[in-house]
Amino acid sequence: MSDTEDAMDTRVKDPNPCRVIGVLDDGAASLGATALAHLRTADLVIGGARTLALFRHELKAGAVTRDLTGQLKAVPGWVRSARDAHQSSVVLATGDPLCHGIAPYLAQHLCLDALDILPNLSTVQLACARIGLAWQDARIVSVHSQDAGEWVRGSWPDHGLYALAQALRSEQRLLVLTSPANSPDRIARLLLAEGLGEDFQLAVAENLLQADERIHPQLSPAQAAGMRFAELNVVLLWRSRAAAQPVRFGLADSAFEQRQPEKGLITKQEVRAVSLARLQLRESSVVWDIGAGSGSVGLEAARLCPRGHVFAIEKNEADQAIAGRNHAAFGVSNYTLQHGKAPEGLDAWPDPDAVFIGGSGGELAGLIGLCLRRLRPGGRLVMNFVTLENLATATQALQSLNAQWDVLQLQAARSRPILHMHRMAAENPVWLVCAGMGSGQPDTEHRHD
């Protein structure tokens, strides 16, 4: 026997594990002989009300049933009590208990060796089989969460459809486990709201393996948005048009709508690139953009942080509208823009990994203190200034807060035509002030103890 085989054989099996059995809506017909035998001999059977009713004729006389609907936290305790009493227990789960099912939760709250998982076909497998859609490269997304209402552009990460909205930007095929609130028609309206109505087709499989099973094999989002579907359903989404491959970093200023005639309310390409670099963004960073202007910094940050989120605020109503139009054109779902004057509203935002201040509305010193207090460990604050007065205010505030900081001056010059030749035209100098309160801050820094 090899060392690997010997290592595998040393695992001690629990003599009375809780069986987590995957079931489908055709009842006992969906179970193999082993799973059915465990169910028929169980002393305790736990499941949702509908599932328990489906299998009520398969339970032995005297078996205790527990409805887990709204009682998920109680399930580990029920299982422990049964095991302590040397009773056999079964938890019924839909499809594959390890695919957005109860098994990972039970494994977290009980010893893994105390579980014996008997998976079934998942409902997404069945739905794909019904329409012949290969699913080995598809992304599975669950929107089975608390009802947060219809999706609107700029919704926060706690919205139940947020993960789906994000996945739509990068995936070719999506298999969606729905809920009564987050239904196929609501998902279709999300696609329309995000400007993806021409990019996807969808299929809906209703009441799988039941007498009233119904399959809608191909719908456009516009069609599905006005339909109603059975509560038990699975949604399949696939691209009918190739996903855009946009530039993520260093876009030209002309890529953004700006106030006309131009008054400098955009962070220019060279300064924007260095500012984003100094923010030290990660894939999942939470970013604040204060004084968003046209939205250029925040929108590029959103592309650089596909698993993060950007919260932006702009006090000027006309500029906020421009940033909103840039958001609509930019193809990102992880960006929230609000109209207001910081620091109003910032207390509701999650703590940031990075903060960019492009405008302060006269509240600069207070904003710096607030941002540094709220920054997560290792976070960065980056500010852009074109006036000596704001630069002085910022550095004095940082010094009084005992922050780590540095200042970088940038002055770019761009070529301009002159007759049949070219000259260099200088842009206004900009000071970048970078600061933080912890380790991992600017390489060249000032700290006043």
Find the mean pLDDT for residues 274-278.
97
371 phi, psi to nearest 5 deg:
-65, -40
Q: What integer pLDDT is reported at residue 405 of this predicted model? A: 96
DSSP secondary structure string for all residues of 116-172: EEE----HHHHHHHHHT---TTPEEEE--S----S--TT--TTSTTHHHHHHHTT-S
Other Cβ atoms closer than 10 A to 210: 15
pLDDT (0 to 100) of residue 146: 84
Specify the pLDDT at position 264. 53
Task: Label residues 246-266 b or e (16+ Cβ within 10 Å = b).
Answer: eeeeebeeebbbbeeeeeebb
Closest CA to 312 of 278, 359, 276: 359
Q: Residue 242 above 60 pLDDT?
A: yes
8 against 89, higher pLDDT: 89
Q: In Å, what is the CA distance from 397 to each residue of 309, 376, 380, 435?
A: 28, 19, 16, 11
Per the omega criterion (within 30 degrees of 0), is the bond before 246 cis?
no
Please give the Cα distance from 216 to 204 (Å, whole number). 5
Eight-state DSSP code of residue 444: S
Considering only CA atoms, which of 189, 245, 178, 234 is closest in space to residue 208? 234
Q: How far apart are CA 199 and CA 219, in angstroms?
A: 12
Q: How confident is the model at residue 262 (pLDDT cuts 50, 70, 90)?
A: low
pLDDT for res 438? 64
Helix (H) or strand (E) holding 51: helix 49-54
pTM of the model: 0.87
The helix or strand, by DSSP H or E, that contains position 79, with its residue range, turns out to be: helix 75-84
Predicted pLDDT of residue 388: 94
Beta bridge partners of 307: none
| pLDDT for 108 beyond 80 | yes
Q: What's the CA gap between 367 and 384, in Å, rounded?
A: 14
Q: What's the pLDDT tens digit per position in 287-338?
A: 999 999 999 999 999 999 999 999 999 999 999 999 999 999 999 999 999 9
Express each pLDDT in 109-163 by its tens digit. 998 889 999 999 999 999 999 999 999 999 999 998 889 999 999 999 999 999 9
Residue 386 contacts residue 356 (beta carbons within 8 Å): no
**Residue 354: exposed, middle, or buried by beta-carbon count in 10 A (0-12, 13-18, 19+)?**
buried
DSSP states of 241-253: SPPP----S---G
User: Is 258:319 a contact under the CB 8 Å cutoff?
Assistant: no
Instruction: Assess whether pLDDT exceeds 90 at residue 15.
Output: no
pLDDT attached to residue 437: 83
Q: Report how far residue 367's alpha carbon sits from residue 351's, in angstroms, rounded to the nearest whole number.
A: 14
At 94, which helix (H) or strand (E)?
A: strand 89-94
Average pLDDT, the chain: 92
